[in-house]
Amino acid sequence: MYARLQKQNKEELRTAIIAQWTERDLQRPPPSTGLTKASITLAGTSSDRDAGIKSGVQTVKAARQARLRELFEREALMYEKELNARGLSLVKPRD
């Protein structure tokens, strides 16, 4: 029992030391490299990123519209079959 308590105390002390190191490191300013954090953007990266996002949104939108169109067509066919089974007629648009 005493050995287990000693081990637990040692682990808690180790955790406290690591926490102190972490807090100390977070309070220190980062080493100076001449660069300022993430505020530097490479030329063209933001416009490329925006173009990629816009293209992705358009692709997703087109895919959703195609799936919805297919869904509506399937539902229209199912509705037509159901009406035909009941002996009711459906006025179809003629081309």
Distance CA 55, CA 60 (A): 9
pTM attached to this predicted model? 0.44
Residue located via tokens 């195609």: 66
pLDDT in tens, 20-59: 888 887 777 766 666 555 555 566 677 788 888 889 999 9
Tokens at 2, concatenated: 């005493």
Give residue 42's pLDDT: 62
Q: Is the pLDDT of residue 91 over 90?
A: no
Contact criterion met (CB below 8 Å) for 68 and 61: no
pLDDT at 73: 93
Q: Give the separation between CA 73 and CA 80, rounded to whole angstroms.
A: 11
